Amino acid sequence: MKQRFKIGVSGILALAVLAMVTAPAHADQYPDKPIRVISDSAPGSAVDVIFRMVMDRLGKVLGQQIVAVDQPGASGAIAARAASEAVPDGYTLFAPALSLFISLPGKAPNLPVVLPRDFLPVGSLADEPLFICASAKSGLKTLPGLIARAKRQPGGISFAATGIGRLTHLTGLLVESRAGIRLQVVPYTGGPAAALPDVIAGRVPLIIEGYSGLAGAIRAHTLNVLAVGSRHRLSDFPNVPTAAETLPGVVSSGWQGIVAPLGTPAADIRKVNEALKRALGEPDLATQLARRGAYVDAMTPPEVTAFINAQQSQWKPVLQAFEASINK
């Protein structure tokens, strides 16, 4: 059995020469066919809208079609597994949301994702501060008003989130912790499109989500914006207070990056990163994203890893507190 794995010196030299010849050729030609980019987001969600906008522009810069594939479910584990098992040839990439990196351990198989253990960093798309909104039927118009009511009704106010352990859920937990209140989470698997009918009708008073998934309801005045999770007030929403103005330390933004399966050629990663930075640097795209509450956030691969490490440290206490509460 071992004999079949033996190779002569001449064979080793031939393989080395072949690698030297084919590697540059691949780098020069890449990409010469469509690139599939898997996302864990639900179709129509805030993350999905931004993802498809950037992927369309990235494809134009690369000169190849980007096939955006949504594979939601299992808190992102389905998409992560599909991406990790793909051939690492540069033609399958993965666009995970921040939630996959800060998921509750054991909540879903192989989560949270760790860089560079599980994937190779490529770049980032945009930063999308989360908005805390209330149904117009709830009568809630400010974050202090929500806190006051929640203190009168412990556990009596619910909020819609895109799954247990996801960033929208964790943001609700962070608000609870800093405000000294107790809310009831109602998880939805279909993004804001699945939750909005219940929120607008007043059955679930609150929703925490990125602006692009809530824009229509906000413009229609069926949702009241209570606060935004950005560090500073947004220039596009100057009258919306930050959550931190009421609750210091409550900062929460959605984020989506690009990673590649382990073994993907470094030259391909470099080419995608450079193209992504060019796409995000186009002023009209930045303007379009800002109108949807998302802000370009071009990063190098090392910067992606550093950012994820910092976010995992920031959210670790929230995750630990939640895990302790469910294990009581």
Averages of pLDDT over runs of 10 residues in the chain (328 residues) are 35 42 60 96 79 95 96 87 96 94 78 93 95 97 98 96 86 95 91 92 96 92 97 92 96 94 98 97 93 90 95 90 82
pLDDT number for residue 3: 33
- Token pair for residue 36? 């599939």
CA distance 127 to 289: 10
CA distance 124 to 209: 19
By the 10 Å C-beta count (0-12 exposed, 13-18 middle, 19+ buried), 49 is classed as buried
> Domains of the chain, with CATH numbers?
32-127+254-326 (3.40.190.150), 129-246 (3.40.190.10)
pLDDT number for residue 27: 55
pLDDT number for residue 166: 81
Q: Are 118 and 144 in contact (CB under 8 A)?
A: no
Q: Which residue has the tokens 């405000």?
A: 179
CA distance 261 to 24: 20
Q: Are 222 and 207 in contact (CB under 8 A)?
A: no
pLDDT number for residue 14: 42
Q: Which long-range CB contacts under 8 A does 109-114 form with residues at least 24 apart?
A: 109/74, 109/77, 109/81, 110/77, 110/80, 110/81, 110/84, 111/75, 111/76, 111/77, 111/80, 112/312, 113/80, 113/259
pLDDT number for residue 192: 86
pTM: 0.80
State the Rg of the chain over Cα: 22
Looking at the chain, how many residues does it have? 328
Q: Are 160 and 199 in contact (CB under 8 A)?
A: yes
Signed CA dihedral, 194, 198, 201, 206: sign only: negative
pLDDT number for residue 2: 32
pLDDT number for residue 26: 53
- Give the angle 209-229-206 at the CA atoms, nearest 5°: 40
pLDDT number for residue 271: 98
CA distance 145 to 141: 7
Signed CA dihedral, 214, 216, 217, 219: sign only: positive
